[in-house]
Amino acid sequence: MGRIFNKIKKILVDELGVEEAAIQPPASFTDDLNMDPDDIAEFFTTVEDVFSMPENKLEIPEAESDNLLSVQNLIEYLLDLGIED
């Protein structure tokens, strides 16, 4: 698995207590990982912090985050922003 996936998995396990075995690229945040809206908001805030660079602060607009429904969606979004895997 790639670096982005591993960082996402670490956030989900360490910050939100998600079961590591459940975290796979196609996993839905709500259906498969049982995250509620508060968990998802906290998760995206942490993702922004982890993937921000001093010269380029990552901000995921709410309209965008509403469309990021799975781990794979988030990976693709970050890759599209130029974050290296």
Domain 3-80 classification at class level = mainly alpha
User: What secondary structure does DSSP assign to 2-60, as a single string?
Assistant: -HHHHHHHHHHHHHH---GGG--TT-BTTTTT---HHHHHHHHHHHHHHH-BTTB----
- Residue boundaries of the structural domains of the chain: 3-80
pLDDT tens digits along 10-67: 999 999 999 999 999 999 999 999 999 999 999 999 999 999 988 889 999 989 999 9
